[in-house]
């Protein structure tokens, strides 16, 4: 079964008039938030991000690069199921097929659980996560696979050494103990303030240099709620969009093989969080393209 049988058509990201014959980037929406436990609504995130993308300019000043010059296809939204395991398996299959076609996958969430599927579409990969939460619980509300446990499951598959979490400021004692016992690297938002961007970038690059492929996942709640209030689990004292983009610009390069942007819950704001997500996607594409030059 092809991924085209698992997706339905939607608004197209960017809505560019000029269509590429051989797209390099492939957008997939995953409107899934079945395990959300505070503010559900991330299932509406993909459509909100796409709508925001239609109203942003594609020229990225940071990179002096026009994303309209890049081939982008939008596969539409995945037909999801209530079962988390079945849904992430569908995500994995679609992303895997996209990668086999030589395209760079960009997944729009939806809740963060979907990263468990999309990152496993790659045979050898490390995961760099930007998130307010560690998501390392072994079980949450009776679920072994959910938005609060998926990173624990990923650590079991990949090994904790292949995970680095940035921007953390909400965690449980159980999660902290697991991270320390397994030498899982993470930095809090406060750490970033003290360390500074240049030292943080050096640390991330040293870690990433150990791996051939790097998958980036961005939970929009890594941003402070002042900048992104429309998320499922907002936490104060987060990063600014400028600081997040500064970090991504220094990290993005040929080693990066996939991206997801998750947890936009548009019912809780006037569209600003979807704008942040869409702007981030445009800029990451520009970062990747200019890093290749």
Instruction: Kindly report, residue by residue over 74-90, the tens digit of the pLDDT.
Output: 999 999 999 999 999 99
Q: Where are the alpha helices (DSSP H) in the chain?
A: 45-53, 84-100, 115-118, 150-158, 173-181, 189-195, 197-208, 241-251, 272-292
Instruction: Kindly report, residue by residue over 94-121, the tens digit of the pLDDT.
Output: 999 999 999 999 999 999 999 999 999 9
**C-alpha angle 59-275-35 in degrees, rounded to nearest 5:** 135
- The pair of structure tokens assigned to 40 is 């559900």
Instruction: Kindly report, residue by residue over 225-267, the tens digit of the pLDDT.
Output: 999 999 999 999 999 999 999 999 999 999 999 999 999 999 9
pLDDT at residue 2, as a whole number: 73
What are the respective helix, strand and coil percentages of the chain, to the nearest 5?
40, 20, 35
DSSP state of 35: T
If you search the block for the tokens 């220094």, which residue do you land on? 250
**C-alpha angle 84-232-137 in degrees, rounded to nearest 5:** 55
CA 91 to chain CA centroid, nearest Å: 13
Q: Domains of the chain by range and CATH? A: 3-292 (3.40.800.10)
Query: Looking at the predicted structure, is the pLDDT value of residue 56 above 70?
Result: yes
pLDDT at residue 15, as a whole number: 87
pTM above 0.75, yes or no: yes
Residues ≥6 apart with Cβ < 8 Å to 157 = 120
Query: Looking at the predicted structure, is the pLDDT value of residue 19 above 90?
Result: no
CA 86 to chain CA centroid, nearest Å: 20
């Amino acid at each position: 079964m092809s991924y085209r049988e698992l997706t339905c058509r939607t608004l197209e990201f960017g809505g560019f008039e000029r269509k590429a014959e051989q797209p390099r980037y492939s957008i997939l929406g995953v409107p899934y938030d079945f395990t959300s436990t505070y503010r559900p609504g991330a299932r509406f995130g993909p459509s909100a991000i796409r709508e925001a993308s239609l109203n942003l300019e594609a020229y990225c000043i940071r990179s002096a690069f026009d994303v309209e010059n890049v081939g982008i296809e939008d596969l539409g939204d995945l037909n999801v199921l209530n079962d988390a395991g079945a849904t992430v398996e569908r995500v994995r299959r679609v992303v895997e097929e996209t990668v086999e076609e030589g395209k760079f996958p960009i997944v729009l969430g939806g809740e963060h659980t979907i990263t468990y599927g999309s990152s496993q579409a790659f045979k050898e990969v490390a995961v760099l996560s930007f998130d307010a939460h560690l998501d390392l619980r072994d079980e949450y509300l009776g679920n072994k696979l959910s938005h609060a446990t998926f990173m624990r499951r990923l650590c079991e598959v990949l090994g904790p050494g292949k995970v680095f979490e940035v921007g953390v400021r909400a965690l449980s004692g159980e999660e902290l103990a697991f991270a320390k016992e397994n030498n899982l690297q993470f930095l809090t938002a406060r750490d970033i303030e003290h360390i500074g961007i240049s030292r943080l970038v050096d640390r991330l690059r040293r870690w990433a240099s150990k791996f051939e492929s790097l998958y980036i996942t961005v939970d929009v709640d890594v941003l402070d709620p002042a900048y992104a209030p429309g998320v499922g689990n907002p936490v104060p004292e987060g990063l600014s969009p400028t600081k997040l983009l500064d970090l991504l610009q220094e990290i993005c390069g040929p080693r990066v093989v996939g991206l997801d942007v998750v947890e936009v819950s548009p019912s809780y704001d006037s569209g600003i969080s979807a704008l942040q997500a869409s702007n981030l996607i445009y800029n990451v594409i520009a970062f990747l393209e200019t890093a290749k030059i």
